[in-house]
């Protein structure tokens, strides 16, 4: 395999994650421009690429812009790359659907990472659909080595057919490390922009003649897929069942059924139908193992190839050996092998929480105290406000949706919600990604929405990347910084309806929210304290609890800081006869950053400064 | 068995992934094929982290299936219990007694198990438990817990303990030589903790 790849094998083998392997291949392919918006599990690709001085790398404000940047680079003849998580391609799809008509010049590769199993996403999606929808070929690597090789091959394929190429990754490729053998680097010099309105200016008169070209390209790619070295037939000694598999599912199939014939799809769209027909002659039955939707299965059936698929396998999540084995046993009417291992133990859940001293804590503490509000939320660390102990976020849909949803809640409300205020909560990066257009809509259409814009100077959720609001670029170097207050003003929010406040000042926050929700106009409350995970965050003197003074009221627990721990519970009967639950606490001083949030609701002043116990925050980070 | 399966579990920030990375480096240095995969849903926010390491002549799927782990390394007691079902019959669990209580337990929605280790033993598992967090703090830094845990694994691998120790020390050698000695001590503490347990009567 890999014989037609450019460059000879380079001596040393590396141990890389799929993301690192893709990044290295992009560099080795002589790519000139790489752009992305962060999103798990794809984020590390651009983080890696930013380390290579020989190419231009950027965080873009959103995925659509990143794809357009890559397209522009391709137009002038440069090799170009962009990366995104699955939902990112929904955002970028408008550009994709027309750039497939113009075609590309310099090789253009789009890495899209599906979060199969949904370890950190708002939905599960099968991005292979985009290949079908947009008439572009799709590669599906099965491990880090293939992620490297296929990325190199994708640039070549893109240039051979002058179309964008999708590299479809999943969490189980992005975040799996394996041995990778790199190949020699290529040099690639941009040919220069060839002005040609009929090619690049997609008005109907120009686009129409290009549609047949796109379909011809499909035919050529279909022929190529039939002979592609990435689509491989493995003969097997056990011909009861043959498999068609791609991506990580291929490895699972080989692991669980080492003797079965397999058609491995590497260049999985267009589908090599004849190869599949060949497989069908090698086995009594065929099972298609694909994550997650039945695309291949449907196409095989349409081509008259009998196969099994989603009637025996789940349509969601990963198809690991422990899923495959019982499903196949069931197909043959065999008893499902009984587990030989210990039973699953019931242990409390451990949902993700906000960090100790997170600047969002005070926001949710405050929102939880307010009555009669509907809270339209968005995506970021602040989505966790929907969880315990705050329960103060009512919706979370897609990046930027908090704005439009809030406006719709406002305009659509009847008697039931007439007395409620609508509050939208959005983070800085999300606001710049797709939220500010929604705010413009709120202003323009005279919505009655109070927006909480949580500027923590970072894309916190994905690990603290830069955005136009942080004043730094992908390399951490100084860059122009957007002023959120002025931006909101420019979008038409009245100056007196824009406040910038410190989210650690609970009374100020409470008062501002109360006031703004009462005024029937768009208003924006911007908070301005940084995420604790960013490099320049400064911790101050930590706190402790004086046990004798703690009355067990539990007010500080409502802040939701993970450094606060309950030491003892009790029930007290009030003079009125009412029973109250008490929870006495301590603060894990070694974790406390001294943010001062929990001190504010503590009436008996039981929380006081402490000397750092174990100075963990001040020692070397990576012991 | 030609493939060794090691499952390391804990909580974001405990160094689970780094520890597995070091194990991987040790296995790579012996020329094995190695795959390492993590499930770390929002791990930076105090969520559960598991790291799967598989090595041998050729590794296909990167995932360890329930009942296939040779070694279960728990950086936190309740997490070790949560992942008990991953051990194969006859597999061994090495568990840090240190507890990290999550907010859902603090606010009274759930309870932390009284004795996770006893629960694991009741399942018939061989468990070696020791307070790696306390040992790390005694040595001056909670982050050394990671190296203590690696030390605990050292005599339970299919290769000599020194290979692992060298991989640990290689991390610091060039960049932070001042940390070599303290990590060597932490490694040794972990190693002794398990050795001491092995000599106990079987039903201890
Ligand atoms: C279309 C899309 N792209 C990327 C993501 C991944 N993602 C989730 S939240 C988030 C940004 C969060 O940053 P911010 O709004 O600043 O909030 P914070 O996490 O810092 O509180 C990103 C990039 C996504 N969910 N959807
Ligand atoms: S990463 Fe930053 S924004 Fe996210 S929870 Fe932690 S402190 Fe808050
Ligand atoms: S002061 Fe209170 S809320 Fe802030 S970090 Fe310390 S324990 Fe947490």
The residue-averaged pLDDT of B17-39 equals 94
CA dihedral for A158, A161, A163, A166, sign (positive or negative)? negative
How distant is the Cα of B107 from the closest Cα of chain A, in angstroms?
A: 7
CB proximity B137 to A under 8 Å: yes
> Residue A131 above 90 pLDDT?
yes
**A264 and A324 housed in the same domain:** yes
- Per-residue pLDDT at A584: 96
Mean pLDDT (chain B, rounded): 90
Q: Which atom of ligand 1 is nearest to the CA of A434?
A: 1
**A45 and A134 housed in the same domain:** yes
In a domain, A422, yes or no: yes
DSSP H helices in A210-285:
210-227, 248-256, 273-282
CB proximity A340 to B under 8 Å: yes
Q: Enumerate the residues of chain B whose CB falls inside 8 A of the CB of residue A341.
A: 66-68, 85-89
Cβ atoms of A549 and A606 within 8 Å: the answer is yes
> Residue A145 above 60 pLDDT?
yes
Instruction: Please tell me the distance from the alpha carbon of residue B59 to that of residue A406, in angstroms, as a whole number.
Output: 50
> Residue B39 above 90 pLDDT?
no
The residue-averaged pLDDT of A444-464 equals 95
Inter-chain touch B110–A348, beta carbons under 8 Å: yes
Instruction: Please tell me the distance from the alpha carbon of residue A251 to that of residue B40, in angstroms, as a whole number.
Output: 21
> Residue B174 above 80 pLDDT?
no
How sure is the predictor about A615, in pLDDT bands with cuts at 50, 70 and 90? very low
In a domain, A320, yes or no: yes
The residue-averaged pLDDT of B30-58 equals 87
Residues with CB under 6 A from ligand 2: A 354-355, 358, 360, 381, 456, 460, 531-533; B 45
**A378 and A521 housed in the same domain:** yes
Cβ atoms of A307 and A300 within 8 Å: the answer is yes
What CATH number has the domain bearing residue A455?
3.40.50.970
Residues 114 through 143 of chain A touching chain B, CB cutoff 8 Å: 117, 119-120, 143
- Roughly how many angstroms between the first and final C-alpha of chain B, as a whole number? 30
- Search chain A and give the residue with CA nearest B115: A347
Last residue in a domain, options A475, A503, A527: A527
The residue-averaged pLDDT of A437-449 equals 98
For residue A294, give its domain range: 233-331
**Could you give the C-alpha distances from B155 to A60, B7, B23, B35, B163, in angstroms and in order?**
49, 16, 13, 21, 11
CB proximity B202 to A under 8 Å: no
- In a 3-state reduction of DSSP, which class is residue A216? helix
In this predicted model, what pLDDT tens digit does every residue of A247-267 receive, in sequence order? 999 999 999 999 999 999 999
DSSP letter (8 states) at residue A9: B
In a domain, A346, yes or no: no
Number of domains chain A is built from: 4
How distant is the Cα of A452 from the closest Cα of chain B, in angstroms?
A: 22
> Residue A164 above 70 pLDDT?
yes
- Per-residue pLDDT at A308: 97
Last residue in a domain, options A331, A348, A372: A331
How distant is the Cα of A599 from the closest Cα of chain B, in angstroms?
A: 18
Residues with CB under 6 A from ligand 1: A 37-39, 63, 85, 87-88, 91, 122, 379-382, 399, 427-430, 454, 456, 458-462, 531
A-B interface: how many C-beta pairs under 8 angstroms?
A: 185
In a domain, A338, yes or no: no
Mean pLDDT (chain A, rounded): 94
Cβ atoms of A576 and A484 within 8 Å: the answer is no
In this predicted model, what pLDDT tens digit does every residue of A45-66 receive, in sequence order? 999 999 999 999 999 999 999 9
How sure is the predictor about A565, in pLDDT bands with cuts at 50, 70 and 90? very high
**Domain annotation for chain B: domains and CATH numbers:** 4-203 (3.40.920.10)
What percent of chain A has pLDDT above 90? 90
- Per-residue pLDDT at B203: 44
- Here the tokens at position A250 are 């291929």
- Per-residue pLDDT at A621: 29
How distant is the Cα of A321 from the closest Cα of chain B, in angstroms?
A: 7
Cβ atoms of A237 and A221 within 8 Å: the answer is no
**A70 and A112 housed in the same domain:** yes
**A238 and A323 housed in the same domain:** yes
Which class for A493: exposed (0-12), middle (13-18), buried (19 or more C-beta within 10 A)?
Answer: buried
> Residue A622 above 70 pLDDT?
no
What CATH number has the domain bearing residue A305?
3.40.50.920
A322 → closest Cβ in B46, B65, B183: B65
**A392 and A516 housed in the same domain:** yes
The residue-averaged pLDDT of A157-183 equals 97
> Residue A173 above 50 pLDDT?
yes
- Here the tokens at position A490 are 């420019």
**A216 and A268 housed in the same domain:** no
**Could you give the C-alpha distances from A236 to A157, A242, A279, A582, A588, in angstroms and in order?**
30, 8, 10, 66, 58
Residues 399 through 428 of chain A touching chain B, CB cutoff 8 Å: none
B111 → closest Cβ in A348, A355, A614: A348
Neighbour tally for A54: CB within 10 Å:
10
**A214 and A239 housed in the same domain:** no
Nearest residue CA, atom 2 of ligand 3? Answer: A598
In a domain, A50, yes or no: yes
**A278 and A191 housed in the same domain:** no
- Per-residue pLDDT at A613: 55
> Residue B178 above 90 pLDDT?
no
ipTM of the complex: 0.94
How sure is the predictor about B47, in pLDDT bands with cuts at 50, 70 and 90? confident
**A51 and A172 housed in the same domain:** yes
B174 against A188, higher pLDDT: A188
CA dihedral for A264, A266, A267, A268, sign (positive or negative)? positive
In this predicted model, what pLDDT tens digit does every residue of A393-432 receive, in sequence order? 999 999 999 999 999 999 999 999 999 999 999 999 999 9
Cβ atoms of A275 and A296 within 8 Å: the answer is no
A352 → closest Cβ in B41, B67, B119: B41
Residue with tokens 């500010």, as numbered in its chain: A436
In this predicted model, what pLDDT tens digit does every residue of A572-594 receive, in sequence order? 998 999 999 999 999 999 889 99
For A122-126, A184-188, A338-342, which range has the lowest pLDDT when averaged over its residues? A338-342
**A223 and A294 housed in the same domain:** no
B108 → closest Cβ in A143, A254, A583: A583
In a domain, A581, yes or no: yes
> Residue A337 above 80 pLDDT?
no
Last residue in a domain, options A527, A560, A591: A527
Instruction: Please tell me the distance from the alpha carbon of residue A534 to that of residue A432, in angstroms, as a whole number.
Output: 19
- Per-residue pLDDT at A544: 96
Nearest residue CA, atom 3 of ligand 1? Answer: A88
- Per-residue pLDDT at B44: 64
A119 → closest Cβ in B39, B65, B105: B39
Residues 362 through 391 of chain A touching chain B, CB cutoff 8 Å: 381, 384, 388-389
In a domain, A416, yes or no: yes
**Could you give the C-alpha distances from B13 to A486, A533, A542, B76, in angstroms and in order?**
37, 12, 20, 12
Cβ-based neighbours of B90, under 8 Å, separated by 6 or more: B126
| A interface test, pick of B103, B167, B179 with most A CB neighbours within 10 Å | B103
For A248-252, A439-443, A535-539, A558-562, which range has the lowest pLDDT when averaged over its residues? A535-539
**A20 and A74 housed in the same domain:** yes
CB proximity A353 to B under 8 Å: yes
Inter-chain touch A351–B147, beta carbons under 8 Å: no
Cβ-based neighbours of A606, under 8 Å, separated by 6 or more: A545, A546, A549, A550, A551
The residue-averaged pLDDT of A161-175 equals 97
In this predicted model, what pLDDT tens digit does every residue of A277-319 receive, in sequence order? 999 999 999 999 999 999 999 999 999 999 999 999 999 999 9
The residue-averaged pLDDT of A454-482 equals 94
In a domain, A25, yes or no: yes
- Search chain B and give the residue with CA nearest A351: B47
B46 against A430, higher pLDDT: A430
């Amino acid at each position: 395999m890999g014989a037609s790849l450019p460059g000879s094998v380079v001596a040393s083998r590396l141990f890389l994650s799929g993301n690192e392997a893709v990044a290295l291949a992009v560099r080795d392919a002589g790519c000139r421009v790489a752009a992305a918006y962060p999103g798990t599990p794809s984020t590390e690709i651009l983080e890696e690429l930013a380390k290579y001085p020989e190419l231009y790398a950027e965080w873009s404000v959103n995925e659509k812009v990143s794809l357009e940047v890559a397209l522009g680079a391709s137009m002038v003849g440069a090799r170009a790359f962009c990366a995104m998580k699955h939902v990112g391609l929904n955002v970028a799809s408008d550009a994709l659907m027309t750039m497939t008509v113009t075609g590309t010049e310099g090789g253009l590769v789009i890495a899209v990472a599906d979060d199969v199993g949904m370890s950190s996403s708002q939905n599960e999606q099968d991005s292979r659909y985009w290949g079908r929808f947009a008439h572009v070929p799709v590669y599906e690597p099965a491990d880090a080595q293939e992620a490297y090789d296929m990325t190199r091959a994708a640039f070549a394929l893109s240039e051979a057919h002058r179309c964008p190429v999708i590299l479809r990754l999943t969490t189980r490729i992005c975040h799996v490390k394996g041995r990778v053998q790199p190949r020699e680097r290529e040099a690639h010099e941009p040919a220069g922009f060839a002005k040609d309105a009929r090619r690049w200016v997609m008005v109907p008169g120009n686009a129409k003649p290009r549609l047949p070209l796109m379909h011809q390209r499909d035919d050529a790619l279909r022929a190529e897929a039939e002979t592609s070295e990435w689509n491989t037939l493995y003969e097997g000694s056990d011909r009861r069942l043959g498999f068609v598999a791609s991506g990580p599912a291929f490895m699972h199939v080989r692991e669980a059924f080492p003797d079965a014939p397999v058609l491995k799809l590497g260049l999985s769209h267009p589908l090599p139908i004849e190869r599949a027909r060949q497989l069908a002659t090698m086995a009594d039955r065929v099972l298609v193992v694909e994550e997650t939707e039945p695309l291949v299965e449907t196409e095989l059936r349409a081509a008259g190839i009998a196969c099994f698929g989603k009637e025996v396998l789940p349509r969601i999540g990963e198809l690991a050996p422990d899923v495959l084995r019982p499903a196949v046993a069931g197909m043959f009417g065999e008893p499902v092998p009984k587990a030989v291992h210990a039973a699953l133990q019931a242990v409390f859940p451990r949902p993700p929480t906000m960090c100790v001293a997170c600047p969002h804590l005070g926001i949710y503490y405050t929102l939880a105290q307010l009555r009669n509000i509907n809270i339209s939320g968005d995506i970021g660390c602040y989505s966790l406000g929907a969880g315990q102990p705050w329960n103060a976020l009512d919706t979370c849909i897609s990046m930027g949706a908090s704005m439009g949803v809030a406006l719709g809640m406002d305009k659509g409300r009847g008697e039931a919600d007439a007395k409620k205020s609508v509050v939208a909560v959005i983070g800085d990066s999300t606001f710049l990604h797709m939220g500010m257009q929604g705010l413009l809509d709120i202003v323009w259409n005279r919505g009655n929405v109070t927006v909480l814009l949580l500027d923590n100077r970072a894309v916190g959720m994905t690990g603290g990347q830069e955005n136009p609001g942080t004043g730094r670029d992908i390399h951490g170097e100084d860059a122009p910084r957007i002023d959120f207050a002025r931006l909101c003003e420019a979008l038409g929010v009245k100056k007196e309806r824009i406040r910038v406040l410190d989210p650690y000042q609970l009374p100020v926050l409470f008062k501002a929210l109360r006031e703004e929700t009462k005024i029937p106009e768009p208003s924006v409350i911007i908070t301005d304290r940084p995420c604790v995970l960013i490099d320049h965050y400064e911790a101050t003197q930590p706190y402790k609890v004086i046990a004798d003074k703690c009355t067990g009221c539990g007010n500080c627990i409502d802040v939701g800081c993970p450094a606060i721990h309950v030491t003892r519970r009790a029930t007290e009967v009030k003079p009125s006869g009412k029973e109250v639950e008490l929870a006495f606490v301590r603060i894990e001083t070694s974790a406390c950053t001294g943010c001062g949030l929990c001190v504010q609701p503590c009436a008996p002043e039981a929380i006081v400064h402490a000397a750092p116990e174990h100075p963990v925050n001040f020692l070397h980070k990576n012991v | 068995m030609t493939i060794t399966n090691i499952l390391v579990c804990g909580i974001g920030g405990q160094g689970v992934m780094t520890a597995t990375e070091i194990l991987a480096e040790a296995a790579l240095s012996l020329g094995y094929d190695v795959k390492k995969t993590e499930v770390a849903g929002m791990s930076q926010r105090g969520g559960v982290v598991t790291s799967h390491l598989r090595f041998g002549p050729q590794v296909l799927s990167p995932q360890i299936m329930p009942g296939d782990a040779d070694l279960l390394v728990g950086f936190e007691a309740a997490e070790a219990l949560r992942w008990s079902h991953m051990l194969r019959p006859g597999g061994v669990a090495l568990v840090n007694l240190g507890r990290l209580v999550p907010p859902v337990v603090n606010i009274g929605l759930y309870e932390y198990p009284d004795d996770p280790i006893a629960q694991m033993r009741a399942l018939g598992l061989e468990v070696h438990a020791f307070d790696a967090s306390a040992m790390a703090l005694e040595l001056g830094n909670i982050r050394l817990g990671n190296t203590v845990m690696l030390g605990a694994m050292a005599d339970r691998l299919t290769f000599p303990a020194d290979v692992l120790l060298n991989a640990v020390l290689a991390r610091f050698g060039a960049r932070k030589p001042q940390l070599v000695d303290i990590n060597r001590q932490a490694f040794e503490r972990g190693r002794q903790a398990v050795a001491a347990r092995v000599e106990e009567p079987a039903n201890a």
